[in-house]
Amino acid sequence: MKTVYVITMWSGGRAAKKWKSDAAPETLAQGTGVSFISAGTRLRVSIIGNISIEEYESGKEELEMGLNPDGSADLDNPVAPRNIERIF
């Protein structure tokens, strides 16, 4: 499982902009905001002001790929989705 962070910048009580990051945001030296690397652009973003940070665990991709709970792939007996039929 992989941890994903969603950073939201708020303006006037509404979400103004959202970013996704693979690493935990770092608090800026002034203590008024955070800095992180955006997963979409791979650029460093620094936000000052009203923000919120949500932490999620992703696991859907690993389950769809057929990985075992210990993280290893069983290549001899892959888990195939039931809604896909092989035609060859």
This prediction's pTM: 0.64
pLDDT of residue 57: 85
Between 55 and 60, residue with greater pLDDT = 55
Rounded Cα distance between 88 and 86, Å, is 6
pLDDT > 90: what percent of the chain? 55
Counts of helices then strands in the chain (DSSP H, E): 1, 6
CB 10 within 8 A of CB 51: yes
Instruction: Indicate whether 46 pLDDT > 80.
Output: yes
